[in-house]
Structure 1
Amino acid sequence: MASDLQDVRMSDGCNIKAKILGHGPDKPLLLTVHGAPGLSTHRETEAWCGPFADIFRVLVFDLRGCGESDKQRPYTHARWIQDVDELRQWAKADKFVMIGGSNGGFLTLDYALAYQQHLYGIIVSDTAAQQGHWGLMNMLKTALTNNRIKPDPDQVLRMFSGRCIDQMDLLTGFGSIAALYESPPEVKEHAEVDVGSVLSGATVPFYEAANAAMGDCLSRYDVRDRLKEIKVPAFVGVGRYDWVTPVSCGEELEAGLPTSKLVIYERSGHFPGLEEKTKFQKDVREFVKTMDVPGLKWVKA
């Protein structure tokens, strides 16, 4: 099956695969950033951000080292957010709204700190102002002690420390803990979208990018002291049962961002945009109404 993504050539020659949903000459741009470099692809963000194409031009893409994009280094936050800004230019948008979940939220916050002049506002879901060694160790502890799963401890340790040995090591390691990204079984029955089915369709393993993201980038990521510099409106969503970036991470973001709104999704894990899709869509649309974004007079309630 032929891909519907386009090649967008970056300034260093790397080809990024991208597409825009909801074309329209007067629509503002919503640029989405998927999570989990080396695992996730644009299919993840298309699943939970695609519905906004009625009011935005929604740009989805594969980060370098992910999906169908070139596997060209470097795999760093600085290069990934530079790619975002070059995609903004490709989409011919001086200003836009940026949305990212999980690791995509880390990159959204980093982008806001580097290129705030190009933002109307940001939307982050299940993300944090820092991850670092302590955050990664807490994730590892949860993965190894949760009775919902029975992973190989050595394999999970390799994944969280950025030491996967090949594609299969990464894929099977992630597969062994994937159930934790959903709400627990007694809550999951109410989910509007099955997270597992979306993740399986959006997972394209590339262990070198995953190793860089987990082993280097996240251990250095900490923007807590700089949140006050982000002056644009910020929407922060978090699932009540999120084990990766729990509710406390969302509360820390709300406290640190000058103009922010926190929404806790009581029946969701790490993907409220899927598990509580209707509420998430409504909440984000209501929040977008508070931004000064030209062309959004037709926003739905």
Structure 2
Amino acid sequence: MGEARTAVVAGIRQVYRIAGEGPVCLVHSGGPGVHPEYLRIPGLERGLTLVYLDPVGSGDSDLLTDGDYSVSRYARFAEAVLDDIGAPTGYFLGHSHGGFVALQFGLDHPDRLDGLILYDTAPANGRRERETATKEMASFVQRWADRPEAVEAGRMWDAVNLSRTMEVTDDESFGRYINGILPAYFADYRKTVERLGELALVVIHDPNRLPVSWDVRDRLGTINVPTLVIVGTYDFICPPRLAYEMHAAMPNARLCELRESGHFGHIEQADEFASAVLDFIHDQETGNRK
């Protein structure tokens, strides 16, 4: 990944890095508060100029002193990066929470988009989505009931989200929680670890971060840019049903389901993920927009 660059918005530093060659594509990781390094995608760098964002409140970017991490505000910082590199338009690949930002960008700044890649994400974030994730987590634990790391992931999820016996108050407790539930984000965590080695996410906890409830389901039909929706069959946090809802509601969308992936298809099925994205980009660039 290239060296860090910085766009400044109202005195706030938004750090980003550029790698690859081809059409410009912003890459917005999930979290929020998770270091974006996990979303490095070398397989796309052979066909795209990837502009990897360190979303505010994570990586090397600044925290927001007022705690207002609204999805529209994230979208504004992404637009500032396009301005900073002198790109009138670009594609936008958003993963998980980054997909919220991509959808919001499509609503707030449609004239700056060549296309959207909505990767393991959802059109809303609130109590209903948390309840769905809780049920999906229970299904994950049942599927791998003989694996201690799966049972522990379920226990950690319940401790934070149901019984409230564990609080996330700082970087350490946030890291312990997110890495404790990490096995649930994969179709087969052990298989991935055997191939790549131990996995761990680096996180930043901003105690000033205000809670955000967000829902654009009733506006999806107004986003008319070419869109690729990617989802892993075993994604517990943004399950396939939500991807199919987005695909059905958006007028210019196609869907790719990765049958052997969870929330991290770019890791579990890297070749298939890259092919889906590059084929989508190729079709837009050559006018084959079926």
> Residue deviations 1:222-265, cap 9 Å, x none?
11110111111100011011101111011001001101111111
* 154 and 251 in structure 1: CA distance in 2 versus 1, 3 angstrom threshold: closer
Equivalent in the alignment of 2:92: 98
CA–CA distance in structure 2, aligned partners of residues 55 and 293 of structure 1: 14
Q: CA deviation at 1:141?
A: 4.3
CA–CA distance in structure 2, aligned partners of residues 125 and 195 of structure 1: 24
Q: 5+ unaligned residues in a row in structure 2: which ranges?
A: none
Equivalent in the alignment of 1:19: 17
Equivalent in the alignment of 1:45: 39
Equivalent in the alignment of 1:299: none
Q: CA deviation at 1:153?
A: 5.8
Equivalent in the alignment of 2:54: 62
Equivalent in the alignment of 1:183: 187
Equivalent in the alignment of 1:225: 218
* Structure of greater relative contact order (alpha carbons < 8 Å, 6+ residues apart): 1
* 168 and 258 in structure 1: CA distance in 2 versus 1, 3 angstrom threshold: same
C-alpha RMSD over aligned residues: 2.9
Q: CA deviation at 1:5?
A: 3.8
- Is the 8 Å Cα contact of residues 258 and 269 (structure 2) preserved in structure 1? yes
Equivalent in the alignment of 1:297: none
CA–CA distance in structure 2, aligned partners of residues 106 and 4 of structure 1: 26
CA–CA distance in structure 2, aligned partners of residues 293 and 118 of structure 1: 19
Q: Which range is displaced more, 140-149 or 96-105?
A: 140-149
CA–CA distance in structure 1, aligned partners of residues 256 and 236 of structure 2: 17
- Is the 8 Å Cα contact of residues 26 and 50 (structure 2) preserved in structure 1? yes
Q: Does residue 124 of the first structure (1) align with residue 118 of the second (2)?
A: yes
Matches within 5 A, 1:142-153: 142-143=136-137, 146=141, 147=145, 148-150=150-152, 151-152=155-156
SS at match of 2:202: coil
- Is the 8 Å Cα contact of residues 156 and 181 (structure 2) preserved in structure 1? no
Q: Does residue 262 of the first structure (1) align with residue 260 of the second (2)?
A: no
* 28 and 168 in structure 1: CA distance in 2 versus 1, 3 angstrom threshold: same
Equivalent in the alignment of 1:9: 7
Count of equivalent residues: 275
SS at match of 1:64: coil
Q: CA deviation at 1:22?
A: 2.1
Q: CA deviation at 1:293?
A: 7.0
| Equivalent residue letter for 2:259 | E
Matches within 5 A, 1:204-243: 204-208=202-206, 212=209, 216-217=211-212, 220-243=213-236
Equivalent in the alignment of 2:278: 285
Poorly superposed stretches of 4+, deviation over 3 Å: 140-145, 152-155, 188-196
Q: Identity across aligned pairs (percent)?
A: 24
Q: CA deviation at 1:128?
A: 1.0
State TM-score, norm by structure 1.
0.82
CA–CA distance in structure 1, aligned partners of residues 222 and 135 of structure 2: 33
CA–CA distance in structure 2, aligned partners of residues 54 and 242 of structure 1: 27
CA–CA distance in structure 2, aligned partners of residues 287 and 158 of structure 1: 40
Q: Which range is displaced more, 163-172 or 140-149?
A: 140-149
SS at match of 1:127: coil
- Is the 8 Å Cα contact of residues 55 and 61 (structure 2) preserved in structure 1? yes
Q: 5+ unaligned residues in a row in structure 1: which ranges?
A: 295-301
- Is the 8 Å Cα contact of residues 30 and 94 (structure 2) preserved in structure 1? yes
Equivalent in the alignment of 1:85: 79
Q: Which range is displaced more, 6-15 or 86-95?
A: 6-15
- Is the 8 Å Cα contact of residues 231 and 243 (structure 2) preserved in structure 1? yes
